[in-house]
Homo-oligomer: A and B are copies of this chain.
Amino acid sequence: MWILSKIYVVGIGPGQYEQMTMRAADALRACDTIVGYTVYVELVKEHFADKEFLTTPMTKEAERCRLAFEEAKKGKNVAMICSGDAGVYGMSGLMLEIGAAYPEIEVEVIPGVTAATGGAAVLGAPLIHDFAVISLSDLLTPWEKIEKRLLLAAEADFVICLYNPSSKKRADYLKRACDLMLRHKAPETVCGIVSNIGRDGESCRVLTLLELRDTQTDMFTTVFIGNSQTKEIGGKMVTPRGYRNV
């Protein structure tokens, strides 16, 4: 098949430029046009001053994808950038779905550090053993489905990482999630929250599941709930490598 041009779907990591992989930076340098949500474009713009930047607002994801493909159809090399990793609640899936209508354009996904692993590094080492990643956003997923996942993941004693723990419209979702997890996890389970990972104002806190229940978070926060073995060591959240010899 004749490939007209290429689109890179690039995870830029959790924050500033240096959190990007060298492969991601190389891809952005090789492009003519960089497409993305306004906030993410601002994080990288100064390092790629010679590029054309196109942005669309938060909720216009399908439109943003089509914009990228239409630019590529003109013969340009295009990058679609996402915060963190493009493949974790990111744009790589929608790009491949919409890309089915553009068979002449090749899509290459370039991974990045997602908030789960970026936030884990700030907190210490919460994800050392088996874990589950769950978004509390019920925009595209019914709450009953999210609830079922929270309960089963807690029953399985996974470390659990929550994306989108709350928003203005969903102020009590984290509390609801904690109440569900308290059915299987102890109130003193070691938890952690990280805000603004890798950006100005980065902050973190280690606390118990019971304390987490009454903590207000925002959309820039990632939440970690430990498993039954997770400990606090010198202010850090640490999960052992297994259940034997620990």
> Chain A residues in contact with chain B, CB under 8 A?
11, 13-14, 17-23, 25-26, 85-90, 92-97, 99-100, 103, 109-114, 117-118, 120-122, 124-135, 139-142, 145, 148-149, 152-153, 155-158, 233-234, 236, 238-246
Contacts and interface: CB of A to CB of B under 8 A. Distances in A.
Contact of A240 (B97, B125, B152): B97
A139 B242 contact: yes
28 contacts: A18-B23, A19-B21, A85-B120, A87-B125, A87-B126, A88-B120, A88-B131, A89-B241, A90-B125, A96-B236, A97-B233, A97-B238, A103-B234, A109-B120, A111-B117, A112-B113, A130-B134, A132-B132, A132-B158, A139-B242, A139-B244, A140-B243, A141-B242, A145-B157, A152-B152, A152-B156, A153-B156, A153-B158
Contacts of A148: 156
Contacts of A95: 125
A92 to B, nearest CB: 4
A92 B128 CA distance: 8
Contacts of A149: 130, 156-158
Contacts of A14: 111
Contacts of A121: 85-87, 92, 109-111
A177 to B, nearest CB: 13
A234 B107 CA distance: 11
Nearest to A135: B130
A150 to B, nearest CB: 9
A128 B90 contact: yes
